[in-house]
Amino acid sequence: MTYARFIGIGSYLPEKVLTNKDLEKVMNTSDEWIRERTGIMRRHIAADNETTSSLGLEAAKRAMSNADIEPEDIDLIIVATTTPDQVFPSTACLIQHQLKIKGCAAFDVQAVCSGFVYALDIANRFLQTGGATTALVIGAETLSRILNWEDRSTAVLFGDGAGCVILKASDEPGILSSHSHADGQYADLLQVRSGISAGYNEAKPAEAFIEMNGNAVFKRAVATFDKIARETVADIDGGLGGIDWFIPHQANMRIIKAAARKLEMPMERVIATVDMHANTSSASIPLALDYALQEGKIKQGDILLLAAFGGGFTWGSTLVKY
Ligand code: UT7
């Protein structure tokens, strides 16, 4: 059997940091409210000359150096993003060109905060069926570009960043299972209404930015982790107790704690970076993964569960032997 193994990980955060105290100066909010309701303390914001592709490129270069591979080794590039540089070409094609890679498939995946686990699921299927041997899977976002800085209920929650995992086909176990799901009936709980085909309503400029029914998303997110837990139990010998590290999408510390309870995971085995990065959508899981590796938490052979939920409504998971 062919598996997709993680052979290199890298991430990149823009230099500019915005703390809750900084936000207090520009909107009617408080460090105390943000910390109590979300666990967030600060977030990174892309500079004017940075884009999703420039963040993703930097994360990819770091992952490639970490994996000790050359651009010519790569034969698949998937970028998960909700904030592509342009309508087209895809962010993946822009990064491919910057890396001087030619000919391989390169495309974007749009599944909002579940984008990275969707992208891993797709790459896993390419590798398992012999369609590729070495894949760059990137999650990259400049969410600050779709934030309404006059809406305190969303502006305080998000940040920018990028992370990249390199997958290589191997006989040794890597990804053990991966799942992608969606239920479009909840589309209006979390959305940016404006778009290319739907157009931009000049009378309602706020529609060009993230709108969210926070309470409803919160409840759906917790219920979704219940489904993910039940699906994962079927994939792993020894049940949920066989998981060494839970690396969830980083949206809100209260959601992460509720998810950990559903998965019967003690918080010591949960990776949480939402305090430092806020919600970086499809970049949040690879950023958290890289952080955990740099902290020396994850060891070779550990079983990791990556799990996400997001706008759409979408959700998914990846169970992997590192
Ligand atoms: O990747 C998926 C994306 N999204 C999420 O995962 C978010 C899911 N939802 C949440 O995390 C939470 O629902 C929030 C953090 C967004 C909100 O927390 P909450 O406990 O559900 O608060 P709430 O929406 O019920 O609002 C409570 C109060 C309201 O005031 P009133 O009406 O009670 O007077 C809000 O106006 O908090 C107010 N509020 C704020 N106050 C200070 C909302 N945003 C802020 C703010 N600062 N930034």
Residue 232's pLDDT is 84
Distance 258 CA to ligand 1 centre (A): 17
**Pairwise CA distance, residues 122 & 109, whole Å:** 9
pLDDT 10s digits, 266-301: 999 999 999 999 999 999 999 999 999 999 999 999
Q: How confident is the model at residue 240 (pLDDT cuts 50, 70, 90)?
A: confident
249 belongs to the catalytic site = yes
40 and 163: one domain? yes
Take atom 41 of ligand 1 and give the residue whose Cα is closest.
29
Average pLDDT (246-272) is 95
Q: Which two tokens stand for residue 216?
A: 């409803």
The residue whose two tokens read 């984008």 is 115
Closest CA to 69 of 11, 163, 133: 133
Domain with 126, as residue range(s), is 3-172
- Report the nearest atom of ligand 1 relative to the CA of 281: 1
Average pLDDT (135-144) is 98
Any ligand 1 atom below 6 A from CB of 300:
no
Distance 157 CA to ligand 1 centre (A): 9
124 and 187: one domain? no
**Pairwise CA distance, residues 96 & 104, whole Å:** 9
pLDDT 10s digits, 96-137: 999 999 999 999 999 999 999 999 999 999 999 999 999 999
The total of structural domains in the chain comes to: 2
Residue 238 clears pLDDT 80, i.e. is over it: no
The residue whose two tokens read 């509720």 is 258
Q: How confident is the model at residue 74 (pLDDT cuts 50, 70, 90)?
A: very high
54 and 154: one domain? yes
**Pairwise CA distance, residues 121 & 117, whole Å:** 6
Any ligand 1 atom below 6 A from CB of 152:
yes
Any ligand 1 atom below 6 A from CB of 259:
no
Residue 273's pLDDT is 98
The residue whose two tokens read 């993703």 is 56
Residue 48's pLDDT is 98
Burial of 70 from C-beta contacts in 10 A (0-12 / 13-18 / 19+): exposed
Last residue of a domain, one of 172, 195, 221: 172
Is 244 within 8 Å of 302 (Cβ atoms)? yes
- Report the nearest atom of ligand 1 relative to the CA of 154: 16
> Using only C-alpha atoms, what is the Rg of the chain?
18
Residue 230's pLDDT is 80
157 and 222: one domain? no
CB neighbour list of residue 168: distance below 8 Å, 6 or more residues apart: 4, 5, 7, 67, 127, 133, 134, 135, 174
Query: Which CATH number covers residue 279?
Result: 3.40.47.10
Q: Which two tokens stand for residue 127?
A: 């590798």
Distance 214 CA to ligand 1 centre (A): 6
Residue 162's pLDDT is 98
126 and 207: one domain? no
Last residue of a domain, one of 115, 145, 172: 172
Q: Is 130 helix (H, G, I), strand (E, B) or coil?
A: coil
Residue 68's pLDDT is 96
Residue 237's pLDDT is 80
Distance 231 CA to ligand 1 centre (A): 30
**Entry pTM:** 0.97
162 and 19: one domain? yes
Distance 251 CA to ligand 1 centre (A): 12
**Pairwise CA distance, residues 20 & 26, whole Å:** 10
Any ligand 1 atom below 6 A from CB of 65:
no
31 and 122: one domain? yes
Q: How confident is the model at residue 239 (pLDDT cuts 50, 70, 90)?
A: confident
158 and 229: one domain? no
Any ligand 1 atom below 6 A from CB of 117:
no
Q: How confident is the model at residue 262 (pLDDT cuts 50, 70, 90)?
A: confident
**Pairwise CA distance, residues 310 & 113, whole Å:** 4
189 and 292: one domain? yes
Percent residues over pLDDT 70 in the chain:
100
Q: Is 150 helix (H, G, I), strand (E, B) or coil?
A: coil
φ and ψ at 249, to 5 degrees?
Answer: -55, 140
50 and 74: one domain? yes
Reported as type and span, the H/E element at residue 246 is strand 245-248
Closest CA to 187 of 160, 217, 157, 167: 217
User: Could you give the angle at the alpha carbon of 240 between the alpha carbons of 237 and 241, nearest 5°?
Assistant: 85
CB neighbour list of residue 190: distance below 8 Å, 6 or more residues apart: 112, 210, 211, 212, 213, 217, 310, 311, 313
Last residue of a domain, one of 132, 155, 172: 172
Residue 315's pLDDT is 97
Average pLDDT (310-321) is 96
Percent residues over pLDDT 90 in the chain:
93
Measuring CA to CA, how many Å separate 25 from each of 30, 31, 85, 130? 9, 11, 29, 54
CB neighbour list of residue 180: distance below 8 Å, 6 or more residues apart: 111, 114, 117, 118, 121, 314, 316
Closest CA to 273 of 300, 246, 299: 246
Average pLDDT, the chain: 96
71 and 210: one domain? no
Catalytic residue among 44, 113, 164, 277: 113
142 and 215: one domain? no
- Report the nearest atom of ligand 1 relative to the CA of 155: 48
Any ligand 1 atom below 6 A from CB of 35:
no
**Pairwise CA distance, residues 239 & 236, whole Å:** 5
pLDDT 10s digits, 172-225: 999 999 999 999 999 999 999 999 999 999 999 999 999 999 999 999 999 998
Any ligand 1 atom below 6 A from CB of 310:
yes
